[in-house]
Chain A
Amino acid sequence: MSKYDKALTVFAPDGNLFQVQYAFEAVEKGTSTIGIRGKDCVVLGVEKKPEVSSKNNNKSTLQDPRTIKKILPIDEHISITFAGLQADARILANRARLESQSYRYNMEDVPSVDYIAKFIARMQQKYTQRNSVRPFGVSVLVIGFDEEEKKPRLLLTEPSGAYSSWKAHAIGRNSKSLKTYLENNYEADLEEEKVIKLAVETLLESVESEKHIEIAIMRGDNKTEKIDSEVIDKVVEAIKKESRG
């Protein structure tokens, strides 16, 4: 390994901060996560991989799959999901929750999705410029609805502290091929059903089994709804039929 990757606060001669780059590698190892913006909804799709039995790949043994939380609500109108180190994401989520209530208390107003995404990104950046700490090993997808314009938002924050807004994005395992799939199949202003279908289709490219897909949708009424696994199964059925016929 190069001699510039031991400390966070040292640039390599070619301009890289190796520790931050390695944090990106940690994100690539996380389970696939996608976010897609529709006309009046945002859909998050995550791959939930429970511990599988060593004998039978389709059976999860001792773990309670409900306790794997990948979609973390921050406030009434904002949720986040992530790829990478789950524990790091938990820390960011708790800080964002505190910041959201703090903002409401001090400003008597609701924080915008942008504000929370910027806050999370700012925190991630802080940890790329200090001694004796390591960067957060997560990329976070922030979804929500802007209070005033009632438009759906999807934002990405990265371990480097950069943040950007997206129409659709994929992070985690196989993110490159998922992003390509999204680029080829995304249409603007899709209705809810079509967005869900697109999310399921995209995840099917990466997951081992359709049982591992979890979809959550946030609509203008600010309620994040988890789509039932039966509904997902029906969508998968329809997709399979289409590809066969």
Chain B
Amino acid sequence: MKLKDNEDKIYHLDEKKVMAIAGDTCDRERFASFIQRNLDWYKYKNGYELDLDATAEFTRSELATAIRKGPYNVNLLIAGYDDKSEKARLYWLDYFGTLQEVKKGAHGYANYFTSSVLDNHYKADMTLEEGKEAIKAGVQVLQKRFMMSQPKFVMKIITKDGTQVEEI
């Protein structure tokens, strides 16, 4: 039984920031929208965009405030390219309001299957091609070992030139 194979859970926060978010559908869409709209509001109010680590911290603080009131049942990865420091960064957040900058990460069932694969492929100063290979290796493991059939994956690549979308 196929429900839907084109749900894109990687929301664009702006040109060089994306947020991959997983969890209850309603919370996921509402929370992602909420963060997108807040970032846009900041941009129009101040004339420039909120930078990457501030974005991650803002997202985290919204989750942390919500956990003891009305939690958003979502886990996220925020990825982006920071123009100021000229570095790409990845952040791992979960629904408690945890925030950690990481080199590689995954949420949910994917975490159990891919963390070792990504660990094997990872090395410092990887090139873009090596990174894509690592992701593809992780996807292949999931498609082979996980009980759910997931033939289609979407991959988003953020560089200093912006965001590209590819299908695996």
Contact = CB atoms under 8 A, between A and B. Distances in A.
A105 B33 contact: yes
Main secondary structure of the interface of A (DSSP, over half): helix
Contacts of B37: 101-102, 104-105
A74 interface: yes
Nearest to A90: B45
Nearest to A104: B37
Interface string A84-105: 0000000000100110111011
B34 interface: yes
A97 B33 contact: no
Contacts of A108: 33
A220 interface: no
B46 to A, nearest CB: 10
A104 B32 CA distance: 13
A75 B33 CA distance: 16
B13 to A, nearest CB: 13
Contacts of B41: 97-98, 101
B40 interface: yes
B109 interface: no
Listed residue (B34, B40, B44) with the most chain A CB atoms within 10 angstroms of its CB: B44
Contacts of B33: 105, 108
In the A-B complex, the 8 residue pairs with the closest CB atoms? A97-B44, A101-B37, A101-B41, A105-B37, A101-B40, A97-B45, A105-B33, A94-B45
6 contacts: A73-B44, A75-B44, A97-B45, A101-B44, A104-B37, A105-B37
Given A74-B44, A101-B41, A105-B33, 17 more contacts: A73-B44, A75-B40, A94-B45, A97-B41, A97-B44, A98-B41, A100-B44, A101-B37, A101-B38, A101-B40, A101-B44, A102-B37, A104-B37, A104-B40, A105-B34, A105-B37, A108-B33
